[in-house]
Structure 1
Amino acid sequence: MRSRLSPLRIVYGDHRANWRIGLVSAFLTVICLIWIYPFVWMISTSLKSNAEMFSNPGLIPQSWATENYARAWTEAHMGSYFFNTLIVTVGSVVIVTTCTSMLGYVLGRYRFPGRNILFFSFVATVFIPQGFTIIPVFELLSRLGLSSNLFGLTIATSGHAMVIFVVLFAGYFAQLPRELEEAARVDGVSFLKIFWYVMLPLARPMVVTVVIMQVLHAWNDFLLPLVVTLANPAIRTLSVGIYAFKGEQFIDWTGMAAAATISIVPIVVLFMLLQRYFINGLAGAVKG
């Protein structure tokens, strides 16, 4: 016999479910407000004068000093640093996405002698701190004559973050159907064309995920650009340029906040536009 629930039990169950949802939503709202408070404070500080920043602890500015942005963009050379960062970021995204997708495709779809050793060697390099690799990377760039230009900085930025992306691509490609490649081979399609026209379009969520993660890495990286740009301050990136607001005797907090806002807003907008692909890409990589 089909079991029947009384109306009272149904209403009681719905009430408990709504109560739990409301409680979880309230808890997450509090966590979200705590999480975004530094970002809101940074924007508020960027619109205050240095004097008001200390006298007015609230989030609503009284004078709305929008000239901080103009000062950061021109006098602090954040405009040129912005375009330097854009060049390095776009260049590294192209290099990293191309190389890691091809290597991840081979590791994820093919079995060959030494594959496991190569795979675990890649994974092992994740645990090497970036500080340990700064000196050999800079020495290599110096020997190649690339230590004082944007191309060298782009190459160095590209090489630092490839390992994780190779693993993600390998996991994503491994869970795609084998029949797709077999059908393409029957039609006489070459290995490179199978990858470029068949497999890579199917991995679009993973590509977007890697693009977002590499943009975040290249845009916010500080230690490597700091070392590489010591000999040529004209090629500084935004993260290094922001540090210039800190002097020996005085810190321009409002100018630094304006520069940080200029640096962070493009990343926030990019992530909001592509977050759906980012989540789908990570889910597919974990599943694979």
Structure 2
Amino acid sequence: MGKNKFVSVLIEVIAVMVCLLFIVPFVFAIINSLKTYPEMMESFIKLPSQLSFENYSKAWAVMNGFRPFINSIIITVCSIIGIVMLSSMAAYKLSRTKDRKSWVIYLVFVFAMVVPFHCYMIPLVKFTAFLNLTKSYIGIVLIYWGICMPYAIFLLHGFVKSIPYDIEESAIIDGCGPFQTFFFIVLPLMKSIISTLIVIDVIMIWNDFLLPMLIIFMDRGMRTVPLVQYNLYGEYNNEWNTALAAMMLAVTPCIIFFIFMQKYIVRGITSGSVKG
């Protein structure tokens, strides 16, 4: 009993240390975003003598106000809708079809998960330019569909396998067709795992810098939040207090969304991975 208690306490201590490892830099970022530049250069750790919100107004002006947030929301929402609908239908079909072809297709998606983006980055950008889809929402959204779907199918495939087929048989006996069975019976049961998928992909797409840089950077009116933050960094620009304020503005929507959805993360991953 004493050994089990020691192990439990040790795990809690390690968990607290890991939490502090992630929280402390975030706290320092908040503190220094409220300092003037001379005060921040004097001490990075010291609390501000007077709260200064001038950094936030300056960062907001440099980031061009609401426009990049609207761009990020449009790209993120359109990407998530497509990823969820396509991957859920694909995962359902692949898990319920018991033949070699479906298994091979599933393995192709699994293999695609381990291929780094940088391996196909240049051909992808050239092909997008060939199709004249650069500097457009459609181009970047379609690419996000392709990048995010392998992991989405992998996650949802394991969850669908845990759903008893008897439920679908009952729906079929009652007169439901394939689409009715999926949308009215199976899809509602996938709510928890889909919520997890949405959280993971929203955070990834919202914070992504590289792909928007390659596809839509040349169009100033389409730049996302991470791209406009780029304007605050440069060889002759070292106002880190303003840059930190911009960072806080950028991550705030993501943090609010994560707090609202966090209860689904562990539930969904456990359901999809352990049962599958």
TM-score between both structures, scaled by the size of structure 1: 0.89
Match of 1:5 in 2: none
Determine if the alignment matches structure 1 residue 182 to structure 2 residue 169: yes
Match of 1:71 in 2: 58
Deviation (angstroms), 1:267: 1.7
- For the 8 Å contact 2:35–2:52, the answer to whether it is kept is yes
Measured in 2, the distance between the counterparts of 1:54 and 1:124 equals: 48
Determine if the alignment matches structure 1 residue 37 to structure 2 residue 37: no
Measured in 1, the distance between the counterparts of 2:146 and 2:49 equals: 46
Determine if the alignment matches structure 1 residue 234 to structure 2 residue 221: yes
Change (3 A) 1:44 1:249: same
The secondary structure found in structure 1 opposite 2:262 is: helix
Match of 1:158 in 2: 145
Change (3 A) 1:277 1:246: same
Determine if the alignment matches structure 1 residue 52 to structure 2 residue 35: no
Letter in 2 for 1:155: L
Measured in 1, the distance between the counterparts of 2:15 and 2:154 equals: 31
Deviation (angstroms), 1:276: 1.8
Letter in 2 for 1:151: I
Letter in 1 for 2:119: F
- For the 8 Å contact 1:222–1:239, the answer to whether it is kept is yes
When the two chains are superposed, the root-mean-square deviation of aligned CA atoms in Å is 1.8
Greater Cα offset, 160-169 or 133-142: 133-142
Letter in 1 for 2:263: R
Measured in 2, the distance between the counterparts of 1:243 and 1:129 equals: 24
Match of 1:130 in 2: 117
* Identical counterparts, % of pairs: 28
Match of 1:201 in 2: 188
Letter in 2 for 1:136: P
Could you list the per-position Cα deviations for residues 61-103 of structure 1 after superposition, in whole angstroms to 9, with x for gaps in the alignment?
2232212111111233153111111111111110100111010
| Partner residue of 1:107 out of 80, 94, 115 | 94
Match of 2:82 in 1: 95
**Bigger radius of gyration:** 1
Measured in 2, the distance between the counterparts of 1:78 and 1:140 equals: 32
| Partner residue of 1:117 out of 91, 104, 113 | 104
Could you list the per-position Cα deviations for residues 160-200 of structure 1 after superposition, in whole angstroms to 9, with x for gaps in the alignment?
11101101111000110011111111112110111000000
Deviation (angstroms), 1:269: 2.1
Greater Cα offset, 167-176 or 41-50: 41-50
Deviation (angstroms), 1:21: 3.9
Determine if the alignment matches structure 1 residue 256 to structure 2 residue 243: yes
Letter in 1 for 2:242: G
- For the 8 Å contact 1:78–1:241, the answer to whether it is kept is no
Greater Cα offset, 93-102 or 261-270: 261-270
Match of 1:277 in 2: 264
Match of 2:67 in 1: 80
Alignment: residue pair count: 275
TM-score between both structures, scaled by the size of structure 2: 0.93
Measured in 1, the distance between the counterparts of 2:235 and 2:203 equals: 30
Name stretches of at least 5 consecutive residues in structure 2 with no aligned partner: none
Match of 1:4 in 2: none
